Amino acid sequence: MDSNQLVIIGETHTGEWHRHISLLAQENMEQIGTIADAKFPPGTFAENITICGIELHKTSILDRFESEDVILEVTQIVKKCHAKCKFGRMMGNCIMPLEGIFCRVIKGSDIIPGDMFI
């Protein structure tokens, strides 16, 4: 199996295109949680990976996130929201279309909570 097909099991973005994995910053989730007076655990906004310490929306196309066994390449920064999700309706905007990014898998392996990327 090609590494571009090795993504998250059951993920709807699996396949031959540029949006295999979605990422969202924990800081953005906490910020919107403060505004909404709610806590949003990882995965709430359908992101596959929650990351800390990086302003994801300021990355560039073809930037890479690398760990010892995984390489993800940025392919899309933010996205158009086609329909207001429950968060968009509740708060006026959902953060995934404003702050989230998408990557394709260059080299795939397991990712576990706490893994460090450079």
For the question of whether the overall pTM of this predicted structure is more than 0.85, the answer is: no
In a domain, 118, yes or no: no
Amino acid (1-letter code) at residue 109: S
The residue segments making up the domain with residue 33 are: 3-107
Residue with tokens 């990557």: 103
pLDDT tens for 89-100 read 666 667 776 788
Q: Which helix (H) or strand (E) holds 104?
A: strand 101-107
Amino acid (1-letter code) at residue 62: L
In a domain, 112, yes or no: no
**Bridge partner residues of 3 (DSSP):** none
In a domain, 114, yes or no: no
What CATH number does the domain containing 74 carry? 2.40.33.20
pLDDT tens for 5-60 read 444 555 555 556 566 788 999 998 898 888 888 888 888 887 888 888 888 888 99
In a domain, 115, yes or no: no
In a domain, 116, yes or no: no
